[in-house]
A = this chain, B = another copy of it.
């Protein structure tokens, strides 16, 4: 039987993890609850919405399903610990393809020392669905969307735009960066860029009740955004502002602390200051020529 064989096979793929008392194969997993705070996040990836079976490999689909949840854990400043995965496989999908999807998740899980402790496997006559739920732990109170303060600098990791050309399938969730940043006191808010720089930034502003000035000239525009600009005829900056699925960290940080981060050799080149928050509740885009306009808020429409 497909489901049974699949679970037998994936159970054989698991490594040990200090938080896991009992993993796959029972009604539920058993975990050690440490004294720290935990974070819990979940995502559901759908064929035709978040990936196409034709253009993404099975490994990439499985990888992305877990990666988007790891990115959320990183955006809280937490360390991911355990995950459960859900699969709805089309009945036409081969067993080897199901294995490859799981392998994609598992390889990423190993990379970040995350234990896969359970899941639910089903087959049906419709599209492929992969769900992931990840637990993490942290020793601070969490980088919330609501904590940005006037005067905070806006920092972003990596570079932005053109994710559809490939990065949306093979991005590295910023867990290592989050772990390196966790000891810094003065990170007031954070999120990961999934919808788009402008949408996710607007959500920080809304929840924090602050305004922001985003400096266009400082935004790290990805090479893929330039490639995409050649295809669309739009400026590469627009792709950095609106494409989404960059899965980079967006942080609101106390200026002195941001200065220390930017000077820290271990973090060299990983963070770019791209603006500052203020008490205005206005969202402003400052163009390279110094002119300012209301920040347009939009993203990729699935």
Interfacial residues, chain A to chain B (CB-CB below 8 A): 21-22, 25-44, 46-50, 72-73, 75-76, 78, 82, 84-88, 117-120, 122, 124-127, 129, 131, 133, 135-137, 141-142, 144-146, 190-192, 207, 302
Q: Say yes or no: A25 contacts B75, CB within 8 Å.
A: no
Interface of A (DSSP majority class): strand
Q: Say yes or no: B37 contacts A21, CB within 8 Å.
A: yes
Partner of A86 from B27, B42, B135 at Cβ < 8 Å: B42
Chain B residues positioned under 8 Å from A30 (CB to CB): 37-39, 76, 141-142
How many copies, total? 2
Say whether, besides A22-B144, A131-B131, A42 and B76 are in contact (CB < 8 Å): no
Partner of A32 from B37, B88, B120, B129 at Cβ < 8 Å: B37
Chain B residues positioned under 8 Å from A48 (CB to CB): 124-126
Partner of A133 from B46, B78, B133 at Cβ < 8 Å: B133
Closest to A137 in B: B33
Instruction: Please report the C-alpha to C-alpha distance between residue A88 and residue B131 in the assembled complex, in whole angstroms.
Output: 11
Q: A79 to nearest B CB, angstroms? A: 12
Say whether, besides A42-B118, A49-B122, A88 and B27 are in contact (CB < 8 Å): no
Q: A144 to nearest B CB, angstroms? A: 5
Chain B residues positioned under 8 Å from A192 (CB to CB): 27
Chain B residues positioned under 8 Å from A131 (CB to CB): 42, 44, 86, 120, 131
Chain B residues positioned under 8 Å from A126 (CB to CB): 46-48, 126-127
Closest to A130 in B: B44
Q: Say yes or no: B40 contacts A84, CB within 8 Å.
A: yes
Partner of A87 from B44, B133, B146 at Cβ < 8 Å: B44
Chain B residues positioned under 8 Å from A135 (CB to CB): 40, 135
Instruction: Please report the C-alpha to C-alpha distance between residue A190 and residue B26 in the assembled complex, in whole angstroms.
Output: 9
Chain B residues positioned under 8 Å from A28 (CB to CB): 39-41, 72-73, 75-76, 78, 136
Q: Say yes or no: A27 contacts B207, CB within 8 Å.
A: no
> Could you pull out 28 A-B pairs where Cβ atoms are within 8 angstroms?
A21-B37, A22-B144, A26-B142, A26-B146, A26-B191, A27-B190, A27-B192, A28-B78, A29-B39, A29-B40, A30-B37, A30-B76, A32-B38, A33-B38, A35-B35, A40-B82, A42-B119, A42-B120, A43-B120, A44-B88, A44-B131, A50-B122, A84-B133, A86-B131, A122-B302, A126-B127, A133-B133, A135-B135
